[in-house]
């Protein structure tokens, strides 16, 4: 009889421990759209400031063209990051 009680108690303990471990699983993260939006805005501000600095420091036309290319690419990336936000706003 003692062995049977010990078996039942050990099974109950095992199931309780497994249930407790399953309950500790992390919850789903909320949408991170605001962070991406803030990041895109910061990137645009940095692009404007650094583009002006780059153009001031450029001494020849080749260097100025490189600045224009580099910052045009960064501007396109920032616009692409902001585009999904606009689509999400239209859906609801």
Rounded to two decimals, the pTM is 0.33
- The values of phi and psi at residue 90, to 5°, are -75, -30
The residue segments making up the domain with residue 23 are 2-90
When divided into structural domains, the chain yields a total of 1
* Tokens matching residue 86: 């606009």
- The values of phi and psi at residue 9, to 5°, are -65, -40
Across the range 64-79, mean pLDDT stands at 78
pLDDT in tens, 56-65: 777 788 887 8
pLDDT in tens, 20-65: 888 886 766 666 556 666 666 666 666 566 677 777 777 788 887 8
pLDDT at 27: 66
pLDDT at 52: 72
């Amino acid at each position: 009889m003692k062995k049977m009680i010990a078996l039942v108690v050990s099974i109950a303990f095992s199931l309780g421990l497994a249930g407790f471990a399953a309950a500790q699983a992390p919850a789903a993260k909320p949408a991170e759209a605001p962070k991406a939006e803030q990041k895109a805005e910061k990137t645009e501000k940095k692009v404007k400031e650094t583009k002006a600095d780059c153009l001031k420091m450029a001494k020849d036309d080749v260097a100025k063209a490189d600045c224009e290319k580099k910052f045009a690419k960064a501007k396109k990336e920032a616009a692409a990051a902001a585009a999904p936000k606009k689509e999400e706003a239209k859906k609801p």
